[in-house]
């Protein structure tokens, strides 16, 4: 018997357990959309895929596998991006329920808006290692995915990447930049050559003169783009090596070359000789990485030559040649700057922002998604919960912690009745292209924005129609009369979304800051006792849905306040801990302690968790310290715990 009263849309549902759960529960009509293809690394946790399926569409193979044990299921599979304009609001309106299993914030934002526009319930979910969560989003009833601010993905100063890397992640980012400079789309903000104006990268005069005399021999010829120079050398691996790992740094070339080309192979102290270790988890010696660099350069240059003029390669963690290049280049740079080198597995995790997937975590979250879906289909959305899966049991010995859903944030610039936001910028410096790409598309997650100036004339500043306003791209906002107090109306017809932008002109923004969203980063402080209703702050993550916990009357109030200070680590291994710490936040459960308020009695609990990412001699000690950082409000008898990864 089918439990579905309509049709279900499951997006990026490459997680085999979710699709299996859906068909065996009785969902009879399921649309599956997934852009990804099957990789070997998927086979250890997704049982619908086999080795023979590697390289094929995940959605298509998942459909074929499910139909073998449930042939009566009606599954329609798309190998496509959910952000394709074909999947418009009308497409979403045909479904009774939408389930997300996405892996990036841009797609999550987009689906959130489409479901709001179509007024279709959305079950948002995410996993990160041993952590996971499921929540329900319903227009006008609960918070949407964007109601609470999410921490932005960590970026690094350009001078650190180019001149003074101090952690392996700096070298990995540099290697990805180098890939784009040589084979991809060149970006001036991703320059890899040292900044000669930086005192720390300055050369001694005698060395500079010697370098100038040897410029034609070591590949350091007159300034042209990196890609043009590489093409002029025929992508010669030796010249590329010389330029990027010897010729531009205060480093002894003779000693470096000796480590690369010794009479006998120089075995690194880090190399693990155990035959039981997986190949990708081995740390090779410098000579091996030099060989891998040479091999990957030759392969990638051939791939680039097969492209049409003007086309470029795109870095993909699942492309073996691209991954070989970044692995070798990053490790060579680590060696240059005296850091411990990393395995291919570790570099892939950091370069691809990958959090290891745990089969058991996926199975638990898949089951919870279906349970919440059954509540919605039964008309019991009031019984839906945000459920957190923790790494360790809380003091009540629970790994699964439910929290009541929060109501919509009235100040949300997505789901409010009239979305409005104030942006501080310098109208004499910010261009129309910056407004379009960095503010509207990147910050506010619009797909195809149209912008007009609220000047009484309806002046069109940006059009989503190709070619209509391209002439405006490099003009400053002030050229169009935009000044302090100007209002802009941005429309995204695909998302059925309109945002009013109030321009706040400022000439005192911090260096390298092009704009600020006023009020976008509120102080993470807890509510004062006198406040009748506390302001909850969402749990942030790299890519997962992070709703805050409930403040609904007659429910336990839980306010989670996270401090994300990132201390400087002197230990290279701490980088791995940092990459794993940026995960789905955990929930907490408040128990029966009562506190009298002016208007009503409610359970109140504040948990303060600090995610200080400084140097630590023991991960276990850090976890213990984090568990102790809790604040018990007056009248509370018990403090719920959040586990720390």
Q: How confident is the prediction for the chain on average, in pLDDT?
A: 74
What pLDDT sits at residue 354?
A: 66
Whether residue 479 is predicted with pLDDT greater than 60 in this model: the reply is yes
The pLDDT tens digits for 234-257 are 889 888 888 888 754 444 344 444
Phi, psi dihedral angles at 135 (to 5 degrees) = -145, 160
Q: How far apart are the C-alpha atoms of 57 and 50, rounded to whole Å?
A: 12
What pLDDT sits at residue 329?
A: 94
Q: Which of 44-48, 52-56, 118-122, 362-366 has the lowest mean pLDDT?
A: 44-48
Q: Which stretch of DSSP H or E encloses residue 411? A: none
Burial class (CB in 10 A: 0-12, 13-18, 19+), 467: exposed
Whether residue 622 is predicted with pLDDT greater than 60 in this model: the reply is no
pLDDT band at 539 (very low <50, low <70, confident <90, very high): very low
Q: Can you tell me which residue has the tokens 């306040």?
A: 561
β-pairing, 131-137 with 385-389? antiparallel
Whether residue 596 is predicted with pLDDT greater than 80 in this model: the reply is no
What pLDDT sits at residue 492?
A: 94
Rounded mean pLDDT, 129-146:
94
Residue 386: closest CA among 61, 10, 206, 125 = 125
Catalytic residue IDs: 159
pLDDT band at 275 (very low <50, low <70, confident <90, very high): very low
User: Which has more confidence, 66 or 513?
Assistant: 66
The pLDDT tens digits for 375-412 are 999 999 999 999 999 999 999 999 999 999 999 999 89
What pLDDT sits at residue 533?
A: 38
Question: Residue positions in the annotated binding site?
Answer: 34, 42-45, 58, 81-82, 103-108, 144, 147, 412, 415
Rounded mean pLDDT, 23-47:
84
Whether residue 177 is predicted with pLDDT greater than 50 in this model: the reply is yes
Question: Residue positions in the annotated binding site for Zn(2+)?
Answer: 144, 147, 412, 415
**Backbone region of residue 382 per phi and psi (left: phi > 0; alpha: psi in -120 to 50; beta: other values):** alpha
Q: How far apart are the first and last CA of the chain?
A: 41
What pLDDT sits at residue 337?
A: 87
- Residue by residue, what is the 3-state secondary structure of 13-71? CCCHHHHHHHHHHCCCEEEEECCCECCHHHHHCCCCCCHHHCCCEHHHHHHHHHHHHCC
Q: How far apart are the C-alpha atoms of 328 and 475, rounded to whole Å?
A: 41
Whether residue 104 is predicted with pLDDT greater than 50 in this model: the reply is yes
pLDDT band at 141 (very low <50, low <70, confident <90, very high): very high
Both tokens assigned to 25 = 């529960």
Is 172 in a helix, a strand, or coil? helix
The pLDDT tens digits for 419-470 are 999 999 999 999 999 999 999 998 999 999 999 999 888 899 999 998 899 9
What pLDDT sits at residue 6?
A: 53
Q: Which stretch of DSSP H or E encloses residue 3? A: none
The pLDDT tens digits for 324-378 are 999 999 999 999 888 889 999 889 888 877 677 788 898 999 999 999 999 999 9
Both tokens assigned to 56 = 């094929």
Q: How far apart are the C-alpha atoms of 93 and 125, rounded to whole Å?
A: 21
pLDDT band at 609 (very low <50, low <70, confident <90, very high): very low
Is 123 in a helix, a strand, or coil? strand
Question: Residue positions in the annotated binding site for ATP?
Answer: 34, 42-45, 58, 81-82, 103-108
pLDDT band at 196 (very low <50, low <70, confident <90, very high): very low
């Amino acid at each position: 018997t089918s439990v579905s009263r309509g049709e279900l849309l499951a997006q990026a549902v490459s997680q085999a357990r979710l699709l299996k759960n859906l068909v065996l529960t009785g969902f009879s009509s399921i649309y599956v959309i997934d852009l990804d293809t099957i990789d070997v690394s998927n086979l250890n946790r997704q049982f619908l895929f086999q080795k023979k399926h590697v390289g094929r569409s995940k959605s298509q193979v998942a459909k074929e596998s499910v139909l073998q044990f449930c042939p009566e299921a009606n599954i329609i599979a798309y190998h496509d991006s959910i952000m394709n304009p074909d999947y418009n609001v009308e497409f979403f309106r045909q479904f009774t329920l939408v389930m997300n299993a996405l892996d990036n914030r841009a797609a999550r934002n987009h689906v959130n808006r489409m479901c709001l526009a179509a007024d279709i319930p959305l079950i948002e979910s995410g996993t990160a290692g041993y952590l996971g969560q499921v929540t329900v989003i319903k227009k006008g009833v609960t918070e949407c995915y964007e109601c609470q601010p999410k921490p932005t993905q960590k970026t690094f100063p350009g001078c650190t990447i180019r001149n003074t890397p101090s952690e392996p992640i700096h070298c990995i980012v540099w290697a990805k930049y180098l890939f784009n400079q040589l084979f991809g789309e060149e970006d001036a903000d991703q320059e890899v050559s040292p900044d000669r104006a930086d005192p720390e990268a300055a050369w001694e005069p005698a060395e500079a003169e010697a370098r100038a005399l040897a410029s034609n021999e070591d590949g350091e010829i007159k300034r042209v783009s990196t890609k043009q120079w590489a093409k002029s050398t025929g992508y010669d691996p030796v010249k590329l090596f010389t330029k990027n790992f010897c010729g531009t740094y205060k480093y002894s070339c003779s000693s470096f070359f000796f480590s690369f080309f010794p009479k006998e192979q120089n075995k690194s102290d880090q190399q693990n000789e155990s035959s039981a270790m997986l190949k990708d988890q081995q740390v090779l010696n410098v000579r091996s990485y030099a060989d891998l660099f040479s091999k990957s350069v030759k392969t990638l240059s051939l791939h680039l030559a097969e492209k049409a003029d003007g086309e470029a390669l795109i870095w993909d963690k699942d492309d073996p040649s691209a991954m070989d290049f970044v692995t070798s280049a990053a490790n060579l740079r680590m060696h240059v700057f005296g850091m411990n080198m990393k395995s291919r597995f570790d570099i892939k995790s950091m370069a691809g922002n990958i959090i290891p997937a745990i089969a058991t975590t996926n199975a638990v979250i898949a089951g919870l998604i279906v349970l919440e879906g059954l509540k919605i289909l039964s008309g019991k959305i009031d019984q839906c919960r945000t459920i957190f899966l923790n790494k360790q049991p809380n003091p009540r010995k629970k790994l699964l912690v439910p929290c009541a859903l929060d109501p919509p944030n009235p100040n949300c610039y997505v789901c409010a009745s009239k979305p409005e936001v104030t942006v501080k910028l310098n109208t004499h410096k910010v261009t129309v292209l910056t407004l379009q790409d960095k503010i509207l598309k990147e910050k506010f997650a619009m797909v195809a924005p149209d912008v007009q100036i609220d000047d009484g004339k309806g002046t069109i500043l940006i059009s989503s129609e190709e070619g209509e306003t391209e002439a405006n791209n490099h003009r400053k906002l002030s050229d169009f009369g935009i000044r302090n107090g100007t209002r802009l109306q941005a429309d995204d017809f695909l998302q059925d979304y309109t945002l009013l932008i109030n321009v706040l002109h400022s000439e005192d923004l911090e260096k390298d800051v092009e704009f600020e969203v006023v009020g976008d980063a509120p102080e993470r402080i807890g509510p004062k006792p006198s406040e009748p209703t506390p302001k909850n702050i969402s749990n942030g993550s790299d890519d997962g849905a992070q709703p805050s916990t409930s403040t609904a009357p007659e429910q336990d109030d839980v306010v989670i306040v996270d401090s994300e200070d990132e201390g400087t680590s002197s230990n290279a291994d701490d980088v791995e801990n940092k990459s794993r710490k940026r995960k789905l936040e955990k929930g907490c459960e408040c128990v029966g302690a009562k506190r009298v308020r002016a208007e009503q009695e409610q359970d109140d609990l504040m948990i303060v968790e600090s995610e200080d990412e400084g140097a630590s001699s023991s991960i276990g000690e850090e976890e213990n310290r984090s568990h102790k950082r809790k604040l018990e409000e007056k009248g509370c008898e018990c403090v719920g715990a959040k586990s720390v990864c």
